[in-house]
Amino acid sequence: MSLTDQFIERAKKSPKRIVLPEGDDERMVQAASRLAAQGIARPILIGDADAIAQLAAGAPLDGVTIVNPSSCPNMDRYVAAYAKTRGVAEGIAKRLVKRPLYFAGMMAAEGDADAMVAGVAKATAQVISAAALTVGFAEGISQASSFFLMVLPGTPERVLVFADSAVVVDPTARELAEIAVATAGNAQKLLGMEPRVAMLSFSTKGSAQHPRVDKVREATEIAKQMAPQFAIDGEFQVDSAIVERVAKKKCPDSAVGGTANVLIFPDLDSGNMGYKLTQYLGGAQAIGPVMQGFAKPVNDLSRGASVDDIIAVAAIASLQCG
């Protein structure tokens, strides 16, 4: 069974309320129908009921909740909550919250949904902005980031988690530490693994001196303080992180070196190249980018996402709920 199929089966054990703001997109409607019919999630579609029924084209909508912002009795509560949290006038809040992405975000923020999945029509930046302003960030986290699950070929399959390979361009030490901690938490929730987090660099434990190495070292210390429950260490070159033979020589005292399963890249250049090299030269399957850092899971889709893609991402969001 593929990793994605495993996620779907696990999501069925505790179906979450996943709000899908793009109810005017046929793929979202079809995905909602299947999520409900197969018991993977309890989908909430934002939009007009008649228009959604047309897009369903006969697909069953039993178990799908449809919410139209213009007639929703919770609208005033969402507007008041947004205005209070953000410190803006209610008139401005109302203009925003009536937009589907913001309305869906407020459903999650106010506890009426467990997670949000969007992005078939809206750009990633718009999804991130809406989530940041409505759902907000998890405790100790100041920004959105992302991770990839890299399924390496071979038997049995081995899965590594890479971050951040898609969102944060040039993180500070603090931001890098946040990425490490958020990724470790998601690795645990999604894969059931004990995360062993390697903070990557071109230096292993002081083998090189450079301000960029200092940044990774500082991030390692911050991350350890933020999440003492996780095994986090650095700085490591990639081989010191994942090859035990090399780790025995370069960092024999590290509990993470040689056996890391979560790799934190120092910036987006290395993170993006790292995942693509692993995918295209190493033959790995890349699942992601999966968004993280929000107070509740918010996942972005590519505009070319298929119904199957939406279902897989909804299952991942369900598992991110913990």
Partner 1 sequence: MDRAEVEKRVKKVVSQVLNVPESNIKPEHKFTADLGAASVQSLELVAGFEEEFDIEVDEDEALSVQSVGDAVEFFVERLV
The binding site for partner 1 (CB under 8 A) comprises 86, 88-89, 91-93, 95-96, 99, 102, 125-126, 128-130, 132-133
CB of 276 to partner 1, least distance (A): 25
R_g (Cα) of the chain, nearest Å: 21
CB of 129 to partner 1, least distance (A): 4
CA quadruple 44, 192, 215, 258: dihedral positive or negative? negative
CB of 91 to partner 1, least distance (A): 4
d(Cα 53, Cα 252) in Å, to the nearest integer? 62
Residue number, 257 or 293, with CB nearest to partner 1: 293
* Helical packing angle, 173-191 and 211-226, nearest 10°: 50
Residue number, 90 or 239, with CB nearest to partner 1: 90
CB of 95 to partner 1, least distance (A): 4
Residue number, 78 or 102, with CB nearest to partner 1: 102
Residue number, 125 or 277, with CB nearest to partner 1: 125
Residue 206 and residue 216 in contact, taking contact as beta carbons nearer than 8 Å: no
d(Cα 168, Cα 213) in Å, to the nearest integer? 18
d(Cα 127, Cα 121) in Å, to the nearest integer? 10
CB of 124 to partner 1, least distance (A): 12
**Closest to 287 (Cα-Cα) out of 316, 256, 244:** 316
d(Cα 105, Cα 91) in Å, to the nearest integer? 18
d(Cα 56, Cα 25) in Å, to the nearest integer? 10
Residue number, 125 or 208, with CB nearest to partner 1: 125
Residue number, 97 or 314, with CB nearest to partner 1: 97
**Closest to 100 (Cα-Cα) out of 25, 33, 16:** 25
CB of 133 to partner 1, least distance (A): 6
Query: What DSSP state is assigned to residue 138?
Result: P
